[in-house]
């Protein structure tokens, strides 16, 4: 981009809710999304929850003409669900999988199996763009949110990832389902520590669901009972951005879909899509990092986040201890049984204990031993990552406080 030329960039973001066999009218909706993206002329499309590679391939075939560049990020058992379509060449990609993402035994939530990640693509028009698609752990119960520490670790890792990878980019774009309300500590942490700006808050012109909500009762796929405390819905999908080096970005317009797709009876997804029109312009001098002005607030946010991570750490330590104790007890039971069996073999009286119950008990003990050991290992990892995040936050806090 030479001189004072400007670039207008249209970004589309949607959590597609495309879980095979589980999401309602999935194939029909994927077709609709593809058709709409072909008609509209976005520059960058960031999608989440495209869990099936077949759906991605279908989209890719359909969108090949208008979005010649694309990438699908693979990770975890099911996948990351993330993909990017672009009008500009994608020069390079990198996937960062969050170190914590729920519990493998919470099968009904299933986040653990997804390998939730942030996917980064380096795209090039005349400015280098760093669009990231990402999704954080879902919130299943706002009152007693057992996953808050994990989501905070993810928000922290996402922020650190962006800080470390974005240094040479001109513009950073982050689109995705953060599973956090705008006032939540995780999003304040992410924006405060990276300097990213919320397109909804910055937009000159807005059109769409009230308050920019992206999970609304109007949508026929949303669970109405979950949205009872929020009659307007909630805003958990975001487009965030910042300019680095000598560029300036302004959000000219932000739109969301509002339930059903235009002229159709079915919405694109259970989430609303977020569409931003950004105006990028080179300006004379380099812009300094806007951290300094936000620092006093950042310290408060960091302290709050660190406290929550600390709560999670203590819970994880407790679970590590309980599972370790359970494994030890099962081992003890097995040893006792082995001694009794050896005694019986040596001709000692084994008592009236029937063989069948003896075997069943042994199998039960083995089962508990394996399960408890697995849990112990898992919670050991959890403790390590929570501890590490807490320490990193403490380090940053100290650094902020030491600055004149």
Query: What residues make contact with a copy of itself under the rule CB under 8 A?
Result: 73-77, 79, 91-97, 99, 113, 115, 120, 122, 160-161, 163-165, 167-168, 355-356, 359-360, 363, 377, 380-381, 384-385, 387-388, 392, 395, 399
Per-residue DSSP letter, 138 = P
Residue 278 token pair:
């950004």
Helix (H) or strand (E) run with residue 39 in it:
helix 26-39
- Least distance in angstroms from the C-beta of 113 to a copy of itself: 8
| Residue 314 to residue 346: CA distance in whole angstroms | 48
| Residue 132 to residue 158: CA distance in whole angstroms | 10
DSSP 327-354: HHHHHHHHHHHHHHHHHHHTT---TT--
- Least distance in angstroms from the C-beta of 144 to a copy of itself: 28
The answer to whether the beta carbons of residues 185 and 143 sit under 8 Å apart is: no
- Least distance in angstroms from the C-beta of 338 to a copy of itself: 17
Question: Quick one: 209 or 302, whose CB is closer to a copy of itself?
Answer: 302
- Least distance in angstroms from the C-beta of 194 to a copy of itself: 12
Catalytic residue among 71, 137, 271, 379: 271
Question: Quick one: 75 or 219, whose CB is closer to a copy of itself?
Answer: 75
- Least distance in angstroms from the C-beta of 148 to a copy of itself: 20
- Least distance in angstroms from the C-beta of 284 to a copy of itself: 21
The answer to whether the beta carbons of residues 127 and 142 sit under 8 Å apart is: no
234: left (phi over 0), alpha (psi -120 to 50) or beta: beta
Angle between the 26-39 and 53-63 helix axes, to the nearest 10 degrees? 30
- Residues 46-63 as b/e (b if ≥16 CB within 10 A, e otherwise) read bbbbbbbeebbebbbebb
Question: Quick one: 58 or 252, whose CB is closer to a copy of itself?
Answer: 58
Residue 142 token pair:
């706002």
DSSP 147-167: THHHHHHHHHHHHHHHHHH-T
Question: Quick one: 99 or 322, whose CB is closer to a copy of itself?
Answer: 99
Question: Quick one: 113 or 140, whose CB is closer to a copy of itself?
Answer: 113
379 annotated active-site: no
Question: Quick one: 67 or 200, whose CB is closer to a copy of itself?
Answer: 67
| Residues designated as active site | 271
């Amino acid at each position: 981009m030479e001189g004072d030329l400007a670039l207008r960039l249209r970004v589309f973001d949607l959590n597609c809710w495309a879980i095979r066999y589980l999401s309602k009218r999935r194939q029909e909706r994927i077709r609709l999304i593809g058709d709409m993206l072909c008609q509209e002329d976005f520059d960058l499309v960031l999608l989440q929850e495209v869990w099936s590679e077949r759906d991605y391939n279908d989209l890719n075939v359909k969108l090949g003409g208008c979005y010649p560049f694309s990438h699908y990020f693979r990770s975890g058992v099911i996948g990351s669900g993330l993909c990017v379509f672009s009008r500009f060449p994608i020069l390079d990609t990198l996937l960062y999988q969050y170190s914590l993402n729920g519990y493998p035994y919470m099968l009904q939530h299933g986040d653990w199996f997804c390998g939730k990640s942030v996917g980064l693509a380096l795209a090039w028009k005349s400015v280098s763009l760093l669009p990231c698609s990402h999704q954080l752990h879902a919130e299943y119960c706002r009152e007693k949110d057992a996953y808050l520490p994990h989501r905070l670790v993810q928000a922290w890792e996402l922020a650190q990832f962006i800080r470390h990878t974005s240094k040479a980019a001109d513009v950073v774009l982050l689109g995705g389902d953060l599973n956090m309300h705008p006032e939540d500590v995780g999003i304040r942490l992410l924006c405060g520590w990276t300097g990213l700006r919320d397109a909804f808050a910055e937009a000159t012109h807005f059109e769409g669901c009230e308050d920019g909500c992206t999970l609304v009762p109007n949508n026929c796929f949303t669970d109405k009972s979950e949205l009872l405390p929020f009659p307007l819905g909630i805003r958990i999908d975001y487009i965030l951005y910042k300019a680095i080096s000598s560029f300036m970005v302004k959000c000219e317009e932000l739109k969301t879909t509002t339930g059903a797709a235009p002229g159709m009876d079915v919405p694109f997804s259970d989430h609303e899509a977020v569409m931003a029109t950004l105006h990028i312009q080179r300006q004379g001098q380099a812009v300094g990092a806007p951290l300094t002005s936000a620092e006093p607030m950042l310290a408060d946010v960091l302290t709050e986040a660190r406290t929550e991570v600390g709560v999670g750490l203590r819970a994880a330590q407790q679970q590590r201890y309980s599972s370790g104790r359970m494994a030890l007890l099962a081992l003890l039971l097995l040893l006792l049984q082995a001694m009794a069996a050896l005694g019986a073999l040596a001709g000692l009286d084994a008592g009236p204990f029937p063989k069948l119950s003896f075997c069943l008990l042994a199998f039960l003990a083995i089962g508990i031993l394996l399960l408890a050991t697995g849990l112990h290992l898992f919670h050991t990892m959890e403790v390590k990552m929570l501890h590490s995040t807490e320490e990193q936050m403490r380090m940053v806090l100290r650094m902020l406080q030491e600055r004149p």
